[in-house]
Amino acid sequence: MFEERTGRDTATLTMVVFRLGIVIVFVVMVARMFELQVIQNERYETLANRNRLLRMETPAPRGIIYDRNGTILVRNRPSFEVALVPEDLPFDDLDTEDIDEEAVEIEKVLRILRADSDPDVALRMAAILFNKLGYDDFIRTVQRVNVPISFLSEPAFVTPVMEDGRLTMAEPRKVYLPDLDQPLPLEGLVALVKRTVAIQSMGSASDPVPILDGVDRTRAFEISEDSFRIPAVRVTQVPVREYIYGDLLSHVLGFMGPIPAFAAENYRAAGYTNPNEKVGLNGLEYTYQRELRGEPGVRYSERNILGVDVRTVGPVIEPVPGLNLHLNIDRRLQTVMRDALQEMMDEVDAPWGVTVAMNPQNGAVLGMVSLPSYDNNIFAERIGEDYLKLEQDERRPLINYAIGGLYPPGSVFKMVTSAAGLAEGVITPQTVVVDSGPIYLPNRYFPDDRSQAQEFVSWNHKYGIVHGRMNVVSALALSNDIFFYYLGGGYLDQFQGLGHQLLSKWTELFGFGETTGIDLPGEVTSLVPTDQWKRQLFAEPWTTGDSYNMSIGQGYVLSTPMQVLVETAAIANGGTLYVPKVVHHMTDANGGVQKDFEPEIKRELPISKEDMEYIRRGMWEVVNSDYGTGRVARVPGVEVAGKTGTAEFCEYIPEERDCRRDEKGFLPFHAWFSAFAPYDNPEIAIVTFVYDGGEGSAVAAPVTQKILEAYFTEISPRPQSTAAQP
């Protein structure tokens, strides 16, 4: 600069390069800003929103369930939950060494909740905290404050859970669970609450931590008042399902509980964001979960890095209440059915029983009782020990046996055989079969040896009675088995029967090989036995004897009471199979009908009205003729038609390598009765089943009679009483 020392060293160039550097830096930085702020702006905006916005759901009020007369069966009862907000608890001030301010505050709260004086509260609280913390943390926390825990004497298995709640692949561990029936002393609870709060505040310090639930309204108000000066306490209302009639309708209504682990993925895919949300787990609560739930409200809460709620951002979507269900079931009829069945079951000491009623003209389910039942209210707030008790009950009360139990139908199946015979032209209404005592099928390998032949008897033979000449009507009335053996399997070369193919075909036509399609979960079905089925299962061909057994509803045929009811209704209405419907229609919160359930026809049976009339007539004679087996089912003023069933079953006893038998060597019986009324224009069809109940005519028919009598006097009285009948 001052001299001529340019060009040979870096002095001048440095200044030029420096200036150039400034320009380049500006260009590069602005280009980078353009890339980040303009080109990728959307991406970073999303990331920033993900940082700050939290989707909050307000659950919609769940739909209410009414019976056909508008009686409320399920409603939402407010229950209260006490929670602590971590950010509102005081910090442990380290200047005061001997006092833990946070623990002092928690203890104050627990005293207000009466955790120190009310063992129920202490137990409930321990159960909640145990579920939150898990086995290891629970024990460690309690033991750290030197509080003794009593353990259960029986070891249990726990599946280790990872910190984020996922199940590990590790083997379940055998541990001794703490006995949650022993109330913990206050120090233990304080330590547990403190630990739970600490864990929660790692996520968001604004989210309340529930420490006690199931608080009733009065207590909730008291707690709110007492904890007025403690900012961390939140008393919130949580709706709880209240099943007003308890065990009367639990199999129909079902119950709710948190989303089960195995279904978590499905629910999440369906838009359930809270993994602890309670969903219908059984009954209508399950089937109509989507409709009952409604649409939860949504708002976006803005949170800072500490998880503190700052404000609500954007539009708030209000929740849409769930739809209300209006059932076909009549609560009064249901009560009558339950009482009648329970009374009889007590009398004959039967373990299980079912009675189901339906309108045969449209498939509307009028009542459905499966005993034993359970009170679904015990699941309303939490699924816990009570559930385990029910699950472990030998009689499995949680199962709805009306659709979940498979039994040999016995003689109530004979209408199927009759219909097949008439429709396929194997018999005419005038075809006569003579019952002159047991019949014998010759042994396949020793056809001439009478002693090796297989004997087939009718129920009446053990009383020393033969029924003589019968057509299909009187055979149904008498429930004679010989007639149906002939009809189903034929007899030697004297009589051409249906054969297994036609029997199977008509069994399927009547809906026995498929579920009825009722709007309840847990329905089962068995396969219709066929030749091929038997060959695959037993490696044996179908025999005439198998056809014999099948044609009287024994042997390989199994059905649910609901399937028998659909069969009965089809006879009653002249040949139409309806899909049973529990729900009649749904309304929204304003009472507008949202969905009306039209009767759904599954199938029209390929049988003429005239032929069907003979079967109906047979069922009429069962009840109304002097020789009918179901005379006990007569109801004054109404013409009832029915069919008794007494189905042998085998309860295999491994020690004896045989089925259970009575002292005379007879197998035990299920009692069945299927009926419809009035005969001319049926409006109700009923099937009653009593497990191990004995004679259908003595056990199932009287129950049905009681129900029908109540139905036609209290629930649907006849217009003018024709009680003057002699």
Partner 1 sequence: MFARINWRNFDWLLLLVVLILSGIGVAVIYSATRNSPDLVDYWQRQINFIAFGLIALFVVAMLDYRQLSIVAVPSFLLFLAALVVVYLFGEAQGGSKSWISIGGTLVQPTEAGKFLIIIFLAWYLSWFRDSMHKLPYLLMALVLLLAPLALVYIQPDFGMTITYAFMGGVLILAAGVRYRHLALLGAGALAAIPIFASTLQGYMLARICIFLPTDEEGHVIAPILSILRTAFDRLPSECIQPEANTAASYNVEQALIAVGNGGLTGMGWTQGTQNQLLFLRVRHTDFIFSVIAEEFGMIGAALILLLLLFVVWRILRIAESAPDQFGKLLTTGIAALIFFQIVINVGMNLKIMPVTGLTLPFISYGGSSLVSMLFAIGLAESVAMRHRKIEFF
Q: Which residues bind partner 1 (CB under 8 A)?
A: 1-2, 5, 8-11, 14-15, 18-19, 21-22, 25-26, 28-30, 32-34, 36-38, 40-41, 43-45, 47-49, 51-52, 302-306, 310
Residues 520, 521, 525, CA angle at the centre, nearest 5°?
100
Closer by beta carbon to partner 1, 88 or else 588? 88
CA distance 274 to 288: 19
User: Which DSSP string corresponds to 63-122?
Assistant: PPEE-TTS-EEEEEEEEEEEEE-GGGSPP--TTSTT--HHHHHHHHHHHHTTTTT-HHHH
CA distance 430 to 437: 21
Question: CB of residue 311 vs partner 1: minimum separation in angstroms?
Answer: 11
Closer by beta carbon to partner 1, 99 or else 306? 306
Closer by beta carbon to partner 1, 18 or else 652? 18
Closer by beta carbon to partner 1, 39 or else 94? 39
Question: CB of residue 205 vs partner 1: minimum separation in angstroms?
Answer: 13
CA distance 431 to 429: 6
CA distance 685 to 356: 8
450 SS3 class: helix
CA distance 709 to 336: 10
Question: CB of residue 100 vs partner 1: minimum separation in angstroms?
Answer: 24
CA distance 633 to 673: 9
Question: CB of residue 2 vs partner 1: minimum separation in angstroms?
Answer: 8
Question: Within a 13 Å sphere around the CA of 425, how many CA atoms are in the beta-carbon half?
Answer: 0
Q: ω before 678 within 30° of 0 (cis)?
A: yes
638, burial (CB in 10 Å: exposed 0-12, middle 13-18, buried 19+): buried
Closer by beta carbon to partner 1, 312 or else 436? 312
Closer by beta carbon to partner 1, 52 or else 332? 52
Question: CB of residue 97 vs partner 1: minimum separation in angstroms?
Answer: 24
Closer by beta carbon to partner 1, 304 or else 436? 304
Closer by beta carbon to partner 1, 44 or else 446? 44
| Cα Rg of the chain (Å, integer) | 36
Question: CB of residue 197 vs partner 1: minimum separation in angstroms?
Answer: 22
Question: CB of residue 390 vs partner 1: minimum separation in angstroms?
Answer: 47
CA distance 258 to 281: 8
Closer by beta carbon to partner 1, 15 or else 162? 15
480 sits in which H/E element = none
Closer by beta carbon to partner 1, 206 or else 563? 206
Encoded tokens for 9: 């060293």
User: Which DSSP string corresponds to 155-193?
Assistant: -EEE--B-TTSPBPSSPPEEEPPB-TTSPPPHHHHHHHH
Question: CB of residue 203 vs partner 1: minimum separation in angstroms?
Answer: 16
Question: CB of residue 230 vs partner 1: minimum separation in angstroms?
Answer: 23
Question: CB of residue 167 vs partner 1: minimum separation in angstroms?
Answer: 25
